Amino acid sequence: MKVLIAPDSFKGTIRNSDCAAAIAEGWLSVRSDDEVTLLPMADGGEGTLETIAQNSKGSVHVNSWLLLPEGTAVVELAAICGITQESVLDPMGASTYKLGLVLKEVFADPRVSKILIAVGGSSSTDGGVGALIALGARFTQANGEPIPLGGQGLSSIIEIDLSALPAAPKNGVFCLSDVKSHLLGELGSARVFAPQKGANEAQVISLEVGLAHLQKISKHDDFIGAGAAGGTPFGLSLAWDIQINSGAEAVGAIIGLNSAIERCDLVITGEGRLDSQSFYGKVLGTVTSMANGFGKKTLYCVGSSEKPLNANGIALEDLAPTHDEAMNQPRAWLVKAGAELAKREAF
């Protein structure tokens, strides 16, 4: 039997490549004659750059970004200023400024004809303003001085000057994301995601007010996907005619996921937590949809699950004695999970 193992990372605990290898180790300990292919996946968040680099021949690492052979630059926010990069969360002061510094280098490189920005996993809610400032934009307050970085500075914007920003490359700027939220509102950037970045109730309200002020003073319409990464796509859209693509679909296309699924008999995918959002733009849902298209069975190996998986897969927290042990020793429990899944299959 041909088995394809294509999981996402388990955020903050284990990389997607290590996750895939552990599942494969367990599977082959039971079914040693099977042909197992590892194709770690990502959806625009943590691990996107590494995933593309490992599966794109001729790609070149250029400092903190990746250059593909056809002139496409790939930049991963999570690896530059993402939540996993922060030892202490700072919901009001965290910004996308470091992302802008990397983008400044990318825009200046004559080899680049297209830019893909993986925007998942951010630590900030600054509407992408920090990145624009690093690229040369000016956001000034009443006294003529630049606003403070982070969401804390958005409410004090009096004037926006984007004239010094570089032009987009000829094939455009794209954001890769698994989020379809608007910038504002009950399902927007601040109210849904800021608490995950350490914001308390008062700070969430303050960040929402700041984002609303940014939207009003920029005279730019809110749109689907604008709320990803603390509003980063919204900020970038002030400068360029950006497009937002499904991160999982874009990564899958680059690394040949479709062909790999077509060649296999069984697919195993997974992520840190399977919940109601897993089938809407995330790796698990994208892989499942592709597998269904070819009539291939999909099994799940996840850290935890909102609902019982029964015969469809395994959650590590159901194997391990405690949730904490599953989190602290993910590789060991992934090996056990891979073995258990193999025992269940009788082809």
Residue 324 has pLDDT above 60, yes or no: yes
Q: What is the pLDDT of residue 11?
A: 82
CATH number of the domain at 331, please: 3.40.50.10350
Domain shared by 185 and 134, yes or no: yes
Question: Cβ(164)–Cβ(133) under 8 Å?
Answer: no
Residue 347 has pLDDT above 70, yes or no: no
The span from the CA of 196 to the CA of 218, in Å, is 27
Choose the final residue of a domain: 247, 275, 300: 247
Choose the final residue of a domain: 247, 278, 300: 247
Q: How many domains are there within the chain? A: 2
Query: What mean pLDDT do residues 274-300 have?
Result: 93
Q: Could you tell me which residues are beta bridge partners of residue 314?
A: 301
Domain shared by 29 and 137, yes or no: no
Query: What mean pLDDT do residues 127-148 have?
Result: 98
Q: What is the pLDDT of residue 56?
A: 85
Residue 276 has pLDDT above 90, yes or no: no
Q: What is the pLDDT of residue 107?
A: 98
With cut-offs at 50, 70 and 90, classify the pLDDT of residue 80.
very high
pLDDT tens digits, residue range 161-189?
999 999 999 999 999 998 889 999 999 99
Choose the final residue of a domain: 196, 226, 247: 247
Mean pLDDT, the chain, whole residue set: 95
Domain shared by 31 and 14, yes or no: yes
Domain shared by 224 and 309, yes or no: no
Q: What is the pLDDT of residue 346?
A: 63
Domain shared by 199 and 336, yes or no: no
Domain shared by 144 and 169, yes or no: yes
CATH number of the domain at 59, please: 3.90.1510.10
What percent of the chain has a predicted confidence (pLDDT) above 70? Answer: 99
Q: What is the pLDDT of residue 240?
A: 97
Domain shared by 79 and 17, yes or no: no
Domain that holds residue 125: 48-247
Instruction: Please give the C-alpha separations between residue 108 and each of 111, 115, 162, 167, 245, in angstroms, as whole numbers.
Output: 9, 12, 17, 10, 24
> Is the pTM value of this prediction over 0.85?
yes
Domain shared by 165 and 284, yes or no: no
Domain shared by 220 and 176, yes or no: yes
Q: What is the pLDDT of residue 257?
A: 96
Residue 236 has pLDDT above 70, yes or no: yes
Domain shared by 193 and 266, yes or no: no
Helix axes 16-30, 330-344, angle to 10 degrees: 40
**Between 275 and 218, where is the model more confident?**
218
Domain shared by 156 and 17, yes or no: no
Question: Within 10 Å of residue 163's Cβ, how many Cβ atoms?
Answer: 7
**Between 87 and 160, where is the model more confident?**
160
Query: What mean pLDDT do residues 328-333 have?
Result: 95
Q: What is the pLDDT of residue 57?
A: 87
Rg (CA), the chain: 21
